[in-house]
Chains A and B, each alone.
Chain A
């Protein structure tokens, strides 16, 4: 057993920063915007705000003093002796994944933040260390891995800049082997991917980041126009000439600025990207300004999702996401592998990172009957929208039957999306893994293993029964769970799927036996 420790004192700095950030708005509101108001609400509000602020400020060091953590053999214990005493025990085995985030402030003080995500629901689902020495963070991470002696080299590696210059890694090869020598032990850590210049440019085109400038440019242009109209004294010709020149100039500047800004934004977001792994874990590091880091044990990956928006499909790119249990909704992008990989590379990357996962090239298509079932299925979205349009009857372009057009367009859109969905929908399963592809304008490829499925369901409605079709649904752990379904597969395949899942028993039984011994 180890001694309990306080959190890193810099925690207080970050807490203070957060307090200031959170209360700034109220200060501005009460003291500046409503500064002149004598209304009792604002008058007492100001006192209350200052009081609250001072109270929070004082409570920060007390909080720090009262909060300790202990790294036990198998559990992490966090004790808070504030007004009430809370003792939280987290078994390392229940930690689903680990995140770090380094802002410039962290880097200045050479500390890191660490978040341990468990699959518990509610407030206590994640354990946050706002500041930690990097070595201490590594130590905690190593504990979680159950391997005290080994050094997993889970340091916050900035991606090597040379490899970023060199460009994309050769397909299918892990080009660089990092051999870290820490604590006198060598551990292999293979870097699978670093983002190259070419990819950044592709990424910035695909994500339409150039469009970010439009609101900015539009206001600029309108200002220029205002300026231009003031010089009315000049001749008409010169006005037009001026205007043409000015327009050309403005457009050029606009486009240049758009490109620079767009690429800049993309670089900041996706520039320093590194995906690495060792035999047990996957590491994702990214970000220029705020570095973020994500690590997960390979066996804790619940499923893999390859996502292709319409634009990405045109460019032959795809985004890969690791589905993992726990974590909150808003930071799902943390667990995504690079969102702009070429499709082949994405498939290879999955195989490299996750043993046992392999994207099957050949997949079954839906039967022909499914096409009509899907196309003719009642679209509630369409019907409800049409009803609303009928009653509201908006006519933004001044002609009355606009609502008919809008409704027709909506149905066409839904129809096209369904037709695309039919052609995208494919499925395949093998001994231990299953793979679904689905989606209309944005298509998804979902891969998971039988042992990761929580439960399955096969269902048939009246039409499906007549046509010999069925829907299958499977549940994976996520936050808390993720349902994935495939509608209108042949009946026989649905039964096969059901029986396939039933066969998981053999494996479990073996495990239980082992456990019992």
Chain B
């Protein structure tokens, strides 16, 4: 059943997994530090009983979230596909919630590349594609590929259609 829609074929950079894992870990570590501080305050000032339970619940959620984030990064990479031709930009993503998007070139308003500190570490770029009502992001592409794709989209999207 999966193959009825002709899937796009191009993949993200393999380093995207590392980028995601690192960024998720950073966020999670911050979260755990915050939780630790809260636990300390809780025991020190002996807060209400429910506050402790809430913190325990949050901890369980965070731990499972952290474990999940590693799988998520791998799954995201495995299932992300994009493709571009003269008429359409095609995006496919998601393992559990699978999305296929089809965007006509003529409806694209602008395209840009972005790079944060983590992406810079691996010399990756993300591409943002603005359409009239939404923004589509291709998260992590190697520099050369990203620039080429950006220019390609820009060229294709130039075609006017009213």
Which residues of A are interface residues toward B (Cβ below 8 A)? Answer: 93, 454-462, 465, 468, 475, 477, 480-481, 483, 491-492, 494-495, 498-499, 501-502, 504-505, 508-509, 511-512, 515
Cβ-based interface call for B61 (8 A): no
B1 nearest in chain A by CB position: A491
A477 nearest in chain B by CB position: B132
Q: Tell me which residues across on chain B come within 8 A of A457, comparing CB atoms.
A: 99-102
Which of B72-103 touch A at CB < 8 Å? 86-88, 94, 96-103
Contact status of A498 and B102, CB under 8 A, knowing A468-B1, A481-B132, A505-B88: yes
B: number of interface residues (CB 8 Å) = 26
Q: How far is the CA of A456 from the CA of B132 in the complex (A)?
A: 13
Of the residues B1, B96, B102, contact of A456 by C-beta under 8 Å: B102
Instruction: Specify which of B4, B86, B161 lies most central, judged by the most chain A CB atoms within 10 Å of its CB.
Output: B4
Interface of B is mostly: loop
Decide if A454 touches B99 in the complex (CB within 8 Å).
Answer: no
Of the residues A462, A483, A492, A511, contact of B161 by C-beta under 8 Å: A511
Which residues of B are interface residues toward A (Cβ below 8 A)? Answer: 1, 4-5, 86-88, 94, 96-104, 106-107, 131-134, 159-162
Interface of A is mostly: helix
Decide if A505 touches B87 in the complex (CB within 8 Å).
Answer: yes
Q: Tell me which residues across on chain B come within 8 A of A504, comparing CB atoms.
A: 104
Decide if B161 touches A459 in the complex (CB within 8 Å).
Answer: no
Decide if B106 touches A508 in the complex (CB within 8 Å).
Answer: yes
3 tightest A-B contacts by CB?
A: A481-B133, A495-B4, A505-B87
Of the residues B4, B100, B134, contact of A475 by C-beta under 8 Å: B134
Q: How far is the CA of A271 from the CA of B141 in the complex (A)?
A: 61
Decide if A502 touches B102 in the complex (CB within 8 Å).
Answer: yes
Q: How far is the CA of A465 from the CA of B98 in the complex (A)?
A: 9
Q: Tell me which residues across on chain B come within 8 A of A475, comparing CB atoms.
A: 131-134
Q: Tell me which residues across on chain B come within 8 A of A459, comparing CB atoms.
A: 94, 97-100
Q: List 20 A-B contacts (CB under 8 A).
A: A93-B162, A454-B103, A454-B104, A454-B107, A454-B133, A457-B99, A458-B100, A459-B100, A461-B98, A475-B132, A475-B134, A480-B133, A481-B134, A483-B133, A491-B4, A498-B100, A502-B88, A505-B87, A515-B159, A515-B160
A474 nearest in chain B by CB position: B102
